[in-house]
């Protein structure tokens, strides 16, 4: 645990504490009264209210549209099911900047809806809600569908034989068993939408601002660290409460049910109702998930040519100091470095947490590992500039700063992916190896590693995809001569002109293809014991 604890203390706790201290401390005295002053401001109250209700609305809409798909993946067997599962998961690993760009190409100015019917939804709350559904659809399908596929269908069939209608049997038998998974999925969707940044930044315009966007505005545009620090504390408290409830629901899901092999529960569709449900899910996937990505690819083409892609090789001296295509290689280099860091840190933490004799303090660190996913990435990025600005850790001019920030987000995915597999390894195998004279290192290499190799590769793939798309912290610390892909897309979208817009769509398409390719590799490596995410 020593290295993971040191890493999170140095590169997460210290930067966050530094910016909060800078904002709430003046002339050596703490100004806690500033908390009340900021929260009671009318514009801040509006931000808090919008952040909360749009997260609730996004969560409800996502559940409404994704639960039928969860049933289809859990109970129906049909050709192309594995491919469709991969397609559904692609939006989840896409960077939020790409999601924003895709919906901008669909519902924005000169977008598909604008050209066909003269309808624009950008700078409206509907664009934000639909983009959040697009991004979080897979969370519900994977979390709820994964449990649904393991529920014994004979219980519902018994209720039907006793005279219950299909709806009554589902409501009284299946739904109570699914409740912990639905709650866990809803909480995760609420967490992601509550801390939404890239989607709201691109689609919301000046009219809509979440806490994350407001923290960015107060930090980088208004330079009011005091207000940013207060909003960071508010978001930190909210995220802590969400994670605590989420941990409780996950424990209920893991311990309250008797499960069966998911391969035995899926059947070919029978009857008009099941075929209609499958057709409806396929149509919703096509419209909600595939259409925005297809429009994004179409907008990246100059007419039907590759003019925008060729323009990426030219340095215009305005938006960037280098050719925009350089952002592709920079992102890949940073993501590989961040993946290596996340695998080492997350792998060590998972190994410590998997031990059955782990103490309460060690187990408590498991919950803390999730905090980087909910705490403002903007705060972490700006905290890097404030905390890591003097020897012996003056990293402001170092390239490693970006991979460190990205690894903070990737490490929790490594832990969540590897932990179930490590816990499943029979400890008696290690004991037998030790009795036969193997050192702890050799026992791990000969016993644990062969069993967790696939989970390790899946964890590395998720860390790579997440690192590649990290935006909130990177936007502060990426150097002008080495922008990452998400930063480059955001800068191009912020500048007027058809060429800048086309280049942004082209870079977004490249980023989407790389993330999708990584996910397809993960789907081939994934096993039932590597977890859903």
Q: Could you write out the DSSP letters of every residue in 433-465?
A: HHHTT--HHHHIIIIIHHHHHHHHHHHHHHHHH
pLDDT of residue 57: 95
pLDDT mean over 40-59: 92
pLDDT of residue 50: 93
> 123 — alpha (psi -120 to 50), left (phi > 0) or beta?
left
Question: Among 97-106, 111-120, 240-249, 457-466, whose mean pLDDT is lowest?
Answer: 240-249
Flag whether pLDDT at 417 surpasses 90. no
Task: Give me the numbers of helices (H) and strands (E) for the chain, helices first please.
Answer: 28, 4
pLDDT of residue 336: 93
At 529, the pLDDT band (50, 70, 90 cuts) reads: very low
Six-digit token string for 504? 């942004």
**pTM exceeds 0.95 for this model:** no
pLDDT of residue 533: 39
Flag whether pLDDT at 514 surpasses 90. no
How far apart CA 353 and CA 423 sit, in angstroms, is: 9
How far apart CA 42 and CA 215 sit, in angstroms, is: 16
State what percent of residues in the chain have pLDDT above 70: 90
- What is the average pLDDT score of the chain? 82
- Taking only the tens place, the pLDDT of each residue in 236-259 is 788 878 777 766 766 655 444 455
pLDDT of residue 52: 93
Instruction: Tell me phi and psi for residue 110, to 5 degrees.
Output: 65, 20
At 128, the pLDDT band (50, 70, 90 cuts) reads: very high
Instruction: Tell me phi and psi for residue 67, to 5 degrees.
Output: -60, -40
CA distances from 122 to 132, 201, 205, 297, 323 (A): 14, 11, 8, 19, 29
- Taking only the tens place, the pLDDT of each residue in 184-201 is 788 889 988 998 888 888
pLDDT mean over 267-281: 87
Cα Rg for the chain, rounded, in angstroms?
24
Q: Are strands 29-30 and 25-26 parallel, antiparallel or unpaired?
A: antiparallel
pLDDT mean over 133-155: 83
pLDDT of residue 133: 94
How far apart CA 196 and CA 200 sit, in angstroms, is: 7
pLDDT of residue 528: 44
Counting beta carbons within 10 angstroms of the beta carbon of residue 263, is it exposed (0 to 12), middle (13 to 18) or buried (19 or more)?
exposed
pLDDT of residue 132: 94
Which of the two residues, 229 and 374, has the higher pLDDT score?
229
């Amino acid at each position: 645990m020593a290295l993971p604890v040191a890493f999170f203390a140095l590169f997460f706790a210290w930067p966050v504490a530094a910016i909060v201290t800078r904002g709430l401390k003046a002339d050596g005295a703490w100004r806690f009264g500033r908390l009340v002053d900021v929260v009671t401001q009318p514009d801040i109250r509006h931000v808090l209210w919008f952040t909360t209700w749009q997260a609730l609305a996004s969560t409800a809409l996502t559940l409404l549209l994704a639960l039928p798909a969860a049933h289809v993946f859990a109970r129906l067997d049909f050709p192309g099911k594995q491919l469709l599962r991969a397609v559904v998961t692609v939006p989840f690993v896409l960077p939020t900047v790409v999601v924003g760009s895709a919906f901008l190409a669909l519902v924005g100015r000169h977008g598909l809806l604008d050209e066909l019917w003269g309808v624009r939804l950008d700078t409206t709350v509907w664009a934000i809600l639909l983009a959040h559904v697009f991004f979080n659809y897979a969370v519900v399908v994977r979390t709820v569908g994964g449990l649904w596929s393991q529920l014994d269908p004979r219980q519902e069939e018994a209720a039907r034989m006793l005279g219950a209608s299909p709806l009554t049997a589902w409501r009284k038998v299946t739904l109570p068993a699914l409740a912990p998974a639905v709650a866990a999925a809803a909480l995760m969707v609420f967490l992601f939408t509550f801390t939404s940044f890239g989607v709201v930044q691109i689609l919301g315009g000046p009219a809509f601002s979440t806490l994350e966007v407001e923290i960015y505005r107060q930090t980088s545009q208004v330079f009011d660290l005091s207000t940013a620090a207060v909003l960071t504390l508010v978001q930190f408290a909210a995220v802590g409460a969400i994670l605590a409830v989420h941990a409780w629901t996950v424990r209920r899901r893991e311990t309250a049910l008797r499960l069966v092999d998911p391969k035995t529960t899926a059947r070919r569709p029978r009857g008009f109702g099941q075929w209609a449900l499958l057709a409806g899910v396929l149509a919703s996937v096509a419209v909600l998930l595939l259409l925005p990505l297809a429009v994004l690819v179409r907008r990246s083409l100059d007419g039907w040519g590759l003019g925008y892609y060729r323009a990426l090789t030219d340095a215009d001296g305005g938006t960037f100091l280098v050719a925009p295509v350089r952002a592709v290689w920079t992102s890949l280099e940073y993501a590989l470095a961040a993946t290596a860091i996340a695998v080492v840190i997350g792998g060590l933490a998972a190994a410590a947490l998997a031990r059955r004799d782990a103490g309460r303090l060690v187990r408590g660190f498991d919950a803390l590992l999730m905090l980087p996913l909910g705490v403002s990435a903007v705060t972490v990025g700006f905290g890097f500039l404030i905390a890591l600005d003097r020897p012996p850790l003056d990293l402001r001019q170092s390239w490693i700063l970006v991979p460190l920030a990205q690894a903070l987000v990737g490490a929790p995915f490594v832990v969540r992916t590897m932990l179930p597999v490590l816990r499943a390894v029979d400890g008696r195998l290690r004991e037998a190896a030790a009795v036969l004279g193997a050192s702890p290192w050799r026992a791990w290499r000969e016993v644990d590693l062969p069993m967790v190799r696939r989970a390790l590769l899946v964890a590395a793939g998720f860390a790579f995809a997440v690192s590649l798309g990290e935006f909130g912290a990177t936007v502060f610390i990426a150097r002008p001569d080495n922008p990452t892909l998400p930063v480059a897309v955001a800068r191009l979208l912020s500048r007027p002109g058809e060429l800048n817009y086309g280049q942004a769509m082209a870079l977004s398409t490249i980023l989407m293809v790389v993330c999708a390719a990584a996910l397809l590799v993960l789907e081939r490596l994934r096993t039932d014991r590597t977890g859903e995410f």
